[in-house]
Chain A
Amino acid sequence: MKDEETIAAISTPMGEGGIGIIRISGDKSFEITKKIFKPVSEVREIRSRHLYLGHIIDPEKGNRIDEVLTAFYKSPHTYTREDMVEINCHGGMVAQKKILELAIKYGARIAEPGEFTKRAFLNGRIDLSQAEAVIDIIRSKTERALMLANRQLAGGFSEMIKSIRSELVQIMAHIEANIDFPEDDIPEADPVQIKNEIQKSKNRIKMAIKNLESGKMLRDGLSTIILGRTNVGKSSLLNALLNEERAIVTDVPGTTRDIIEEYININGIPVKIIDTAGIRETGDKVEMIGVERAKRYLNEAEMVLLVIDASIEITEEDRRIFDMAKDKFAVIVINKTDLPSRIDEKEIEKILPEKKIIRISALKNQGIEELKNEIYNSIVEKMGPIDENAIIATQRQKKAMEDAASYLEKALKSLEENMPIEVIEIDIRESWEKLGEIIGDTASEDIINAIFENFCIGK
């Protein structure tokens, strides 16, 4: 039951201090934490309010996610009066997000806006006179979550969810029409067609999850431009950040003719990455147009990633580019660390003091996580701590979509096993409801309406 489930949330996002906290409350808190937390020294019996040093590990893969300090709080002397766990992590927001995901995977549910406070009140921890304040918290957090969800996600996302839902409604309407009006002139829903439709919807959901993860669905991101000489690997960097082959990458300098804009999601913050043509004075008309545009984007960019090739000494062009970016908020990215280095970092520091330097190999996918962390930290430095609701909002959506996809998988399996159609409909409906949770639409009249719109029924 919802109110009795164990909940988890990021209670403090990765901020300037470098510590982020994940909070879990409910009777499964300890159990879940034990699955993912390995203390450095063996613990015979957990003591309440004691901080334990250890690591969060992914039980499936066995790798360490982060070094953390975990505190266990035994009910009833806790904020919510339930068993609680607080995991203090400092491995960056990517780690923090991963820890939350693990908690969800191993039995918790993402907390509703204001839910910890709600439980605290209902369990008598907060005074009667504070009831209005509690309501305020729930109200405002709900509104904020909705607003963030709506702002973060382009209209395209919610349109897409609606479109998948509508496909599912069509399938269900047909099944229901056959069930409730068996003597009417309605052709029997064809199981092969149903299977194909479900398969299609499932694939669309899975694609949407991928897009959500990669940030493709975000808009209004922090405008970040990738700047650098031709062929320093800007496009490779973009691809690495995006995790896919999008920009054209060849060995011939000046390949990226156009400006490529992509969005990535760094822990819930949308970042718009602009990849430019290599800045180079050339006679090539196409290239010159690209260069002009790059200069314009640079002007408007809020952040710059200056990319240098590690294997070549700093050139005149590099210096010109440094000059362009010296007043901007920037991170210096030394790429191609897989090749022998000819760069002296001290030289860079002389030209661009006080700018962070990150070494990566876009080709070998090394250092990318560190770079993302650095981008995030720079943003936090510049804009202040990030609202944790932003992070949770996308997590919630992602989980709902994963559940929706898995229900459709169940439906496909039941179809294969020749289960009766009304049993298969159960899974389709659950999937449809899960998707409805994302966009806040739970009206079940949709299906009945679709039956009467699509089929001529009637005695």
Chain B
Amino acid sequence: MEYTAGNYDVAVVGAGHAGCEAALATARLGLKTVVFAINLDSIAMMPCNPSIGGPAKGHLVREIDALGGEMGINTDKTFIQMRMLNTGKGPAVRALRAQADKKAYQFSMKHTMEKQENLDIVQEEVIRILESGGKVRGVVTKTGGVFYSKAVILTTGVYLNGRIIIGDVNYSGGPNGLFPASRLSESLINLGFELGRFKTGTPPRVHKNSIDFSKMIEQPGDEVIIPFSYTSGKIMRSQVSCWLTYTNAKTHEIIMDNLQRAPLYTGEIQGVGPRYCPSIEVKVVNFKEKASHQIFVEPEGLNTNEMYIQGMSTSLPADIQIKMIRTIPGLENARIMRYGYAIEYDYVMPTQLKSTLETRKINGLFMAGQINGTSGYEEAAAQGLIAGINAALMIKEKEPLILKRSDAYIGVLIDDIITKGITEPYRMLTSRAEYRLILRHDNADLRLTEIGHDVGLIDDQRYEKTMQKTKMIQQEIERLKSIKITPTEENNRLLDEMGSSPINTPFTLEDLMKRPELDYDKIKIFDAMRPELPKEVIEQVEITVSYSGYIKRQMAQIESFKKMENKKIPKDIDYDKIYGLRTEAREKLKKVMPVSLGQASRISGVNPADISILLIYIEQQKRKKAK
């Protein structure tokens, strides 16, 4: 018996990391929003690793923050350890990684959502999407509630037809003992969407009191804490440590002896798993020559004794899990509180999406997060934010927000999944970004705050502050370019003292700074009139000057790239009508429906000659119309 439960602007289905960002974004932009979760206690749940960030993922969190999203702020409130990674490498690949208190993270996010104006939170399972005339109308829930809305954002994570597999036992289930979403997939198939099936897994959780830490190596947090969010200010907090131990030959023996009970090898698991998050059984089988694998023991929170055993993701039977874990130094007496499991789930092939994350088939229907086949909390949150922003812009009849590959990692992510498609759960890597040197985690604010402000999620004050910072950086670089040091004996002596070679023509301060053995601090002696500048400004100046050669090169490449992105392909193009295209290219183009020649060139199977032919065809059509 169906009843009208409400009329909204936006309905968000699922309150995981993508759902929370989407719901908060639309609500903050003034749209009446409802967000559904099968269980409200699972809002912003971290079903797997208690960590947020790392290379590429940390970049995403910064970008989310710069655009006005919530993940960075929420992480800063609830982290129990913070580390900067890749400190030994250059600025383009440094990133923050936090260990979060899982429950604190959840409660904090839930409370933020509860306090948010324009946002209703409802515990319900959505079973059907309402659509008519190619436009979305709303959703229907299990209890019969019909919620009408102008936009629907699906952020169902790994719940679609979720199936849990532990050894020989498997059952329909969502992550972490929660109910799955069993009818929504059917609704999507009826609407004409193509689905795929993926799998992911999680390791066991062990009781802290059963662990002998003396046999492990301690890994504390950084002494100086750098927060994720640009709004967090200085954070002083005591941190917990993580612990490192290793598997050994005995562990591997148990695994190898029991492969016939391992669902990954019995064929029980059909879905494709991610290569970068392999189960321990996969690691042992694929890298037989490796004598031991790393195991990190991570606290799940301050008020719990559950420890996350990172590196031991598995779907081996429960009894094997116990045996296996007790071979590891420090875990000989381990008491497992939650068993590791594999979860299979449906996802929607992302080539069916536009770069706004709206589906091509149905107006107003957006998809974000793991439903698109990505993996990771950060990847999900980034998509959720973009989907939320674009749903809002659509309703307000404004131009959508499309971030390019040269703007942000978020741009790389979305372009990758909608253009290239995916064959395994997609994880962000810095190596996926062509312009890594430009897309740094230290300049996310400079790149994206203005956009966040234009959209309406960043207030004027924060925007002004960022513009000020940008100005200070530019001014300081100009100043350094304008000051010349003459080749006097005194100056050369000072240079020599610093291990730098003498000059025989005047050098600007900027040129001097480019020398690998000098830096902003060292050239202070030549720079008497130096203004007092904040640390973040100096950091940007240094990076910009030191890598100016390479940055310039990447900027030139970005210019070329943008030109191709701006060569738009008409929406109504019929690839079957284009003379001279190779069959493979034709098929691929029809599938992906790229919006620009740039995007078309990134499709595998489309080569430069095909692009030329497209160009010619488009020109031909243009002239025909002009006549």
Q: Which residues of A approach B to under 8 Å, CB–CB?
A: 1-3, 112-114, 118, 121-122, 128, 131-132, 134-136, 138-139, 142, 172, 176, 178-185, 417-423, 426, 440, 443, 447-448, 451-452, 456-459
In the assembled complex, how far is the CB of residue A190 from the closest CB belonging to chain B, in whole angstroms?
13
Question: How far is A182 from B90 in the complex, measured between Cα atoms in Å?
Answer: 13
User: For residue A146, which residue of chain B has the nearest CB?
Assistant: B609
B436 partner residues in chain A, CB cutoff 8 A: 422
Inter-chain contact B613/A138, CB cutoff 8 Å: yes
| A113: chain B residues within 8 A (beta carbon) | 609
Residues in B whose Cβ lies below 8 Å from that of A122: 615-616, 619
Chain B residues whose C-beta falls within 8 Å of the C-beta of A131 in the assembled complex = 579, 616-617, 619-620
On chain A, the residues within 8 Å of B615 by CB distance are: 118, 122
Would you call B400 an interface residue if the criterion is a C-beta within 8 Å of the partner chain's C-beta atoms? Answer: no
Residue of A nearest to B564 (CB): A1
A113 to B619, alpha carbons, bound, how many Å?
A: 19
Q: Which of B56, B89, B293, B580 contacts A422 (CB 8 A)?
A: B89
Q: Is A420 a contact partner of B49 (Cβ separation < 8 A)?
A: no
Which B residues are CB-close (under 8 A) to A419?
Answer: 90, 516
- In the complex, the answer to whether B294 meets A184 with C-beta atoms within 8 Å is yes
B183 within 8 A of A: no
Q: B431 touching A185 by the CB < 8 A rule?
A: no
Chain B minimum-CB-distance residue to A175: B431
Contact A180 B429 (CB under 8 A): yes
Q: A135-B580, A456-B286 are in contact. Are A179 and B616 (CB under 8 A)?
A: no
Partner-A contacts on B (CB < 8 A): 49, 54-56, 85-86, 89-93, 275-278, 283, 286-287, 290, 293-294, 296, 310-311, 313, 429-432, 436-437, 516, 547, 550, 553-554, 559-560, 563-564, 579-580, 604, 607-609, 612-613, 615-617, 619-620, 623-624, 627
| Closest chain B residue, CB of each to CB of A184 | B294
> Which A residues are in CB contact (< 8 Å) with B89?
178-179, 420-422
Q: How far is the CB of A304 from chain B (nearest CB, A)?
A: 41
A3 to B601, CA, bound (A): 14
Task: Give the secondary structure class of A's interface.
Answer: helix
Q: How far is the CB of A205 from chain B (nearest CB, A)?
A: 20
Known interface pairs A138-B616, A426-B553, A451-B431; 17 further A-B residue pairs with C-beta atoms within 8 A, sorted by A's residue number: A1-B560, A113-B609, A121-B619, A128-B620, A131-B620, A135-B616, A139-B609, A182-B86, A418-B516, A422-B93, A422-B430, A426-B550, A426-B554, A447-B431, A448-B429, A459-B296, A459-B313
CB distance from A128 to the nearest CB of B (A): 5
Q: A176 CA to B431 CA in the complex, in Å?
A: 6
With A and B bound together, what is the CA distance between A447 and B613 in angstroms? 30
The answer, among A180, A418, A423, for a CB contact under 8 Å with B437, is A423
Q: Are B55 and A423 closer than 8 Å at their CB atoms?
A: no
CA distance A182 to B432 in the complex (A): 16
* Chain A residues, CB < 8 A from B604: 443
Q: What total count of A-B pairs have CB within 8 Å?
A: 131
Q: Which residues on the B side are within 8 Å of A1 (C-beta)?
A: 559-560, 563-564
A181 → B minimal CB distance (Å): 8
- Complex Cα distance, B617 from A182, in Å, reads 48
Point out which of A181, A185, A418, A456 has the most chain B C-beta atoms below 10 A from its C-beta.
Answer: A456
CA distance A426 to B551 in the complex (A): 11
Could you write out 10 A-B pairs with CB less than 8 Å apart?
A: A1-B559, A1-B564, A122-B615, A128-B620, A179-B89, A181-B55, A184-B294, A421-B89, A422-B430, A457-B278
Interchain CB contact (< 8 A) of A180 among B49, B55, B287, B613: B55
Q: A456-B287, A456-B290 are in contact. Are A142 and B431 (CB under 8 A)?
A: no
Nearest 8 CB-CB pairings of A with B: A420-B90, A135-B580, A131-B620, A456-B287, A176-B431, A142-B609, A452-B275, A1-B560
B568 nearest CB across to chain A (Å):
15
Closest to A124 in B: B623
Cβ–Cβ < 8 Å partners of B90 in chain A: 419-423
Are B55 and A182 neighbours in the complex by a CB distance under 8 Å? yes
A456 x B579 contact (CB < 8 A)? no
Which chain B positions have C-beta within 8 A of A121? 616, 619
Q: Which residues of chain A have C-beta atoms less than 8 A from B553's C-beta? A: 426
Is the CB–CB distance between A132 and B619 below 8 Å?
no
CB-CB under 8 A from A184, the residues of chain B are: 294
**C-alpha gap A113/B612 in the complex (Å):** 10
- Determine which of A112, A139, A422, A451 lies in contact with B613 in the assembled complex, contact meaning CB atoms within 8 Å: A139
In the complex, chain A residues whose CB is within 8 Å of the CB of B276: 181, 452, 457-458
Residues from chain A with Cβ under 8 Å of B93 in the complex: 179, 420, 422
Q: Would you call A179 and B55 a contact (CB within 8 A)?
A: yes
B-chain residues with CB within 8 Å of residue A178 when the two chains form the complex? 89
CB A290 to nearest CB in B, in angstroms, measures 49
Q: Residues of A contacting B608 with CB < 8 Å?
A: 112
Q: Chain B residues near A128 (CB, 8 Å)?
A: 620, 623-624, 627
Most buried by B among A139, A419, A420, A421: A420
